[in-house]
């Protein structure tokens, strides 16, 4: 069994951003030499997500507006977690979007349907944060 590990770093300019990271994950699979196996891609921070959906900017705006409705940022005082921090909403938003994805590796590539793309979802940005890529297989 082979295993491979890499950290990807991101620093967004806005509090909330959705970044397409499929090419970086494809590169990791190529570097790993794994032909058949699984790749785990997870946010290493608890106010960020990794998820799979469509690379369409209108939909990304829909996601942001929808998350703001389900877990509003303000007023900050509505959350006990806020005080020293102001990011309670980011913990909730990341919960909706998910921490991680597990994707099949087949024939040395991401085994994806026609529109699947991997995204890093940042909900408390403006600082350096990490995604972990772990691949196991043969």
Of the listed pieces 9-17, 20-28, 51-59, which binds its own copies according to CB under 8 A? 51-59
Instruction: Give the distance, in angstroms, between the CA of residue 63 and the centroid of all CA atoms in the same chain.
Output: 14
59 binds its own copies (CB under 8 A): yes
Q: CB of 61: closest distance to its own copies in angstroms?
A: 5
Residues 8 and 6: their CA atoms lie apart, in Å, by: 7
The residues pairing with 3 across neighbouring beta strands, listed in sequence order, are 136
Could you say which residues in the range 85-124 bind its own copies, by CB under 8 A? 88, 91-92, 95-104, 106, 111-116
Contact 102, 51 (CB under 8 A): no
Decide: 19 and 138 in contact? Cβ < 8 Å: no
Interaction of residue 33 with its own copies, rule CB under 8 A: no
Q: Is 127 in the site for its own copies (CB under 8 A)?
A: no
Structure-token pair, residue 138: 């043969």
Q: Does 75 bind its own copies (CB under 8 A)?
A: no
> Candidates 9-17, 18-26, 38-46 — which segment interacts with its own copies by CB under 8 A?
38-46
Choose, by CB under 8 A, the member of 43, 50, 120, 123 that binds its own copies: 43
Of 70, 67, 37, nearest to 53 (Cα)? 67
Q: Does 20 bind its own copies (CB under 8 A)?
A: no
């Amino acid at each position: 069994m082979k295993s491979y590990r890499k950290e990807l770093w991101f620093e967004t300019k806005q509090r909330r951003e959705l970044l397409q990271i499929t090419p970086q994950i494809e590169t990791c699979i190529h570097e790993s030499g794994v032909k058949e196996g699984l790749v785990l891609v997870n946010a290493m921070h608890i106010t960020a997500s990794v998820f799979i959906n469509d690379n369409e900017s209108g939909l990304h705006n829909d996601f942001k507006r929808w998350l703001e409705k389900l877990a509003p940022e303000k007023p900050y005082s509505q959350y006990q977690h806020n005080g020293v921090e102001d990011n309670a909403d980011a913990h909730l938003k990341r919960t909706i979007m998910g921490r991680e994805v597990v994707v099949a590796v087949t024939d040395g590539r991401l085994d994806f349907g026609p529109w699947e793309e991997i995204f890093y979802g940042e909900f408390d940005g403006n600082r350096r944060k990490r995604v972990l890529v772990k691949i196991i297989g043969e």
